Every structure is written in C-alpha cells, then in structure tokens.
Amino acid sequence: MSNNHKLTRRIFVKGVATSSLLLSGLVDLNAKSTNKFLDNSSVLSGKEFFLSIEYTPVNITGTPAIATTVNGLLSAPTLLWKEGDEVTIHVTNNLKVDTSIHWHGIILPTDMDGVPGLSFAGIKPGTTFTYKFTLNQSGTYWYHSHSGFQEQTGVYGAIVIKPKVQDPYKYNADYVLTLSDWSDENPHSVYRKLKLVGDYYNFKQRTVGEFFSEVKEKGFLQAFSDRKMWNKMSMTDRDLSDVTGYTYTYLMNGHNPSTHFKALFKKGHKVRLRFINSAAMTFFDVQIPGLKMMVVAADGNNIEPIRVDEFRIGVAETYDVIVEPLEKKAYAIFAQSLDRSGYALGSLTYNKNVLAIAPQMDELPILTHTDMGMNHDMHNNSTHSAMKCGANMTMPMKKKPLYSNVPITPLEEKWGAHTTMKLENTRYRLNDPGVGLRGNGRVVLTYADLKSLNSIVDDRYPDRQIILNLTGNMERYLWSINGIAYKDAKPLEFFYGERLRITYINNTMMNHPMHLHGLWSDLETGNGNFVRKHTIIVQPGSRISFQVTVDAKGLWAYHCHLIYHMAGMFRKVVVR
C-alpha cells in the first residue's frame, strides 16, 4: 500500500453516528444579544450543572459498541462558564464501577481535583459527588475521567470559560473541536496486547528490501550502523505511536471522517476554533488547507498571535486559532495522526450540505538521529527555522541567565529493567517542529513561537531545580520516571511559596505529554520568554525546562497523559 495511506473501510461506513453525536455549537461571544449555539443540547451554561456518567450504545465504525458517556453524549457536553463565578457540578455515577471527573487545567482546591486515591475517594456506583470551586481563569480547557480507562471509552468534554475582560481578538463565530481516538476494542485488551508486544499495533516496520535500499544509498557500513543503533534500543525508526489506526478511528466532536463535523461561517467573517486533544494516545497534526491559522491561545492562556499553516497538538493540550475564510467554499479541518495511520476530519463551510474533501496524508515520518538525542542532522531538517527565524534548534537564552547555578535537589534514580537507554547529551529543541513536520514546506508552530500575551507574574530566579528523566522499556512496555515506576516511587516534595525549576530529559523515542495538576507550568521558550501551560510535550531524545510557583497546598497528580503510560510514568506531589 502506498503512502497515500488508504484508510480502512471501517472509517468510511456511512450513517453510523448515533443521535448522541451532536454538534458542539457555534457561539458569537462578541454579540450583544444572548449567546446562541447551533445545538443547545450539547452545551450547558450557568453556575450549577448536573452530569450523569453512564453506558451508551454507539456505532462509530459499523460495529455496535458501548461507550461510557456524560449525559449520553460523545463528546460530553461543553460546559460554558464565566470567570469569577463559583460553579457547582453534581456528578452522578450510573456505571457499575467507580468513576471520577478531573477538571484539566483548572486551578482549584486539591479535594476538587478529581483524582481517585489522591485528592478524593472517587465516585461509587449509584452515588453523586458534588464539585464546587471558583473560576479564577478564562479560556479553553477540558474535563475527563481519571478512573481506569474511561477516558478512552468516552468520558471527556470541553470547557469554555468566558473572560471578565474581553479577549483582545475580534471574531464572529466560535467553535469547540475535540479530537479523540475511538476503538471498538476493550481498552484492557489493548493494554494487554501492548504488554505482550510493545509494537503490536505498528504494521509499518522496516523490511529486508528497505535495508538493501539503504545499503545502496548509504553503503553497507553506514546502513548497518544505523540499524544497529536502533536494535540496541529494541525499537525501530518507525515506532511513532503505540496504538494506531489499525484499531483507532479518529474523531472530531464525536464524528468519524465520513460523518464530518461541520462548522458554518459567513464569507469574510473571522472564526475562532478551540482545538482540544482529548485523545487517549494520539498526537494530531492540524491544518486547514487554503487558510492561515492565527494561534492566539495555548492551554487556555492568551499568547502573542502567530500565523502558521500547521500545528502539532499533543494529548491533553489545547490551542485556539482564528481563521478568516475569504472564499465561499468548504475548507477541510484536517487532523492527521502523527504516525499517519488515519485522521479526524471536519468541514469549515458556508453551507452544511457542502463538505470539504480530505487532502492526502503526508508520508510516513521516520525517526532520525535528532530523535535519538544525536544532533548530526538537526540543522538540515527545518524549513520552519529558515522561513520564520533563521535560528538553529537549540534554546537561545540571550536576556536571562542559563540557570546553571540553581541548586539541584537530587532524586532517586534506578537504571535497569525499566530503562532501555540513557541519553547523555540531550539538547533543548524548542524550534524543532518534530518528526514528520521538519522541512514539509509549511510554516509549523513550535514551542519557541509561544510567548504569553501578558508577562508571567512571578519572574523570580528559581530557588532550586529538579531533573526528571522520562524512561521506558518499549520491548516490555514499561514506563517510569527516573527508572522507577509509580508503585515503587517516593512522592515528590514541593515547598509552598518556592519558585521551582523542573527539567525533563526524555530518554525514550516517544513524545510524552507531561501534566502537573494544580499548579501552572511556566514553560521556558527562549530569550527569557515564558508561556503558561498545563501540559508540556517532551520530544524524543530531548530536554525541556519550565518553572513553577508553588502556590497551592495539598496532594497533586503528576504524570504522562498517554493513558497506557500513566500507570508507571506517574508521581504523587506533596506540597508542604
């Protein structure tokens, strides 16, 4: 099969969306009249909310299945809140097992954070738990279950918090777009298969014929040396995603690519699109061919606007963009999976009966020396750098110190069964758009582009720093931090009032979306700039740093947001 990547038949079964797959609506937040959504049944607004987590029959692929849903909807209802309000949410569990809701990116008291066994006991079957907290932020966020694999089977939804002071961006319409990955397989079965064979779902491995092609291109010694390096890591240069389109169907607001989510526009109007990656395991590369996207917010926080053709959105991240369609036509909202095994698709259109055609997917990405922590080919692969800033992919720090004299608090490390490799010379790669996006001819967003619209309030020099090695053994499907799985790890201790610097070193060939609950992560993006995020993507073979003002006491979860990595790559944080 060619790299046109013909999608399997199950994605194109017609008429399979159930009545629960509803539009997340259109709203004019700038209008003087009452806000209007296209479908009010999928949007809940006000100060008090009633949510029911339940089993719901769905048919997304042509095969009947059972999802776990909120109020019978997939995606769950969008919650429309207002900054400054106190909200009360009653969550009733109609499942046969415990459940929970975590309010991802919302700063709130620890007992309202929704992590069973850490911040509360969970919600037992047949009972109701009431969350109550005050909203001291605005922007685009999301909510999801933090129990078992329920997030994989449908318990996720969007949050939009309207600001007290209107955002400094003008637009006429506003849509939420949740991206997700659906499997008809039981997620426990998926996890079991990964534990048996780490690359169970990867059918795009190298062949003997390709090795001979490499020998012809590079010579035997170089080709053999390249293969030997990957073999030592028990991986290949095509191990991009643990779970692929072989079992996943990629959804946009609950719609598969054949049933199309539709966002309506009027010619010449500006449209705000709030992208949320609520997938369990999938990174998406998003573009709208024919339109530039002005990125205006990251993880709910306004940034200095940057125009791009494409952006990669990691699991749990959110990005808000504004587009201005100038032609009366349908534009494809195209989100291809990082491993190019499928895509989510919607139409930005002037007429709900006029749908866009999906563009051809990009070629299968191939991991390089850069992704192994070796930088031999780094400067040759970034069209992005040449087009936008002409910089190399190291982290420039011209205005601020390099933090070399911040004392490091040593943490326990174990290098053994949980660690296939340990990298010695990882570098900051903030200007690197990532594997599959380098040199693609499009302007691609990178972390180096992100700068908070308003300065970070706390710019103190860090009091101390810690280093967290992201570690794993892909062959045995073991994931850990500093070589220690969660069950064997001591809690991380933060001290109330301190300014803490944290550096990730990714000793694996996978992207890891790291999420610290309860506290903002001020990502260092170069030149002394910061951007405030709740989820930080750590690229393969790289390092990245952020700072935290420890201003919330209690117990907090800290983990990789890939659902099948979370059991090992997890820590409890104690703020004393």
Confidence of residue 388 (pLDDT cuts 50, 70, 90): very low
DSSP secondary structure letters along 399-449: SS---TTSPB-------STT-S---SS-EE-TT---TTTTTSSS-B--GGG
Cβ contacts of 6 within 8 Å, gap of 6 or more:
none
Mean pLDDT over 73-99 rounds to 97
Asked if pLDDT for residue 379 goes beyond 70, the answer is no
Mean pLDDT over 148-173 rounds to 96
Please state, rounded to an integer, the average pLDDT across all residues of the chain: 86
pLDDT digits (tens, 9 = 90+) for 315-348: 999 999 999 999 999 999 999 999 999 999 999 9
pLDDT digits (tens, 9 = 90+) for 193-232: 999 987 888 866 555 455 455 556 767 666 556 655 555 5
Asked if pLDDT for residue 245 goes beyond 90, the answer is yes
Mean pLDDT over 504-510 rounds to 94
DSSP assignment, residue 72? T
DSSP assignment, residue 325? -
Max avg pLDDT among 40-54, 245-259, 411-425? 245-259
Looking at residue 228, its pLDDT comes to 57
Looking at residue 37, its pLDDT comes to 32
Looking at residue 397, its pLDDT comes to 40
Mean pLDDT over 94-112 rounds to 98
DSSP secondary structure letters along 370-385: GGGT--TTGGGS-HHH
Token pair for residue 103? Answer: 């309010």
Asked if pLDDT for residue 9 goes beyond 70, the answer is no
Q: At what angle do helices 220-232 and 208-218 cross, to 10 degrees?
A: 130
Looking at residue 225, its pLDDT comes to 62
Confidence of residue 25 (pLDDT cuts 50, 70, 90): very low
Q: How far is CA 569 from CA 360, 549, 562, in A?
A: 35, 23, 9
Nearest to 48 by CA among 83, 18, 86: 86
Mean pLDDT over 570-576 rounds to 97
pLDDT digits (tens, 9 = 90+) for 439-462: 999 999 999 999 999 888 788 999
Asked if pLDDT for residue 246 goes beyond 70, the answer is yes
Asked if pLDDT for residue 191 goes beyond 50, the answer is yes
Mean pLDDT over 489-511 rounds to 96
Looking at residue 332, its pLDDT comes to 98
Looking at residue 374, its pLDDT comes to 67
Looking at residue 358, its pLDDT comes to 96
Asked if pLDDT for residue 294 goes beyond 90, the answer is yes
What share of the chain in percent tops pLDDT 90? 73
CA distance 68 to 164: 34
Mean pLDDT over 133-137 rounds to 98
Q: How far is CA 555 from CA 109, 114, 226, 486, 552, in A?
A: 10, 11, 45, 15, 9
Mean pLDDT over 547-552 rounds to 97
Confidence of residue 153 (pLDDT cuts 50, 70, 90): very high
Confidence of residue 24 (pLDDT cuts 50, 70, 90): very low
Asked if pLDDT for residue 261 goes beyond 80, the answer is yes
What share of the chain in percent tops pLDDT 70? 81
Lowest mean pLDDT among 202-211, 220-229, 354-363, 422-431: 202-211
Confidence of residue 371 (pLDDT cuts 50, 70, 90): confident
Looking at residue 212, its pLDDT comes to 52
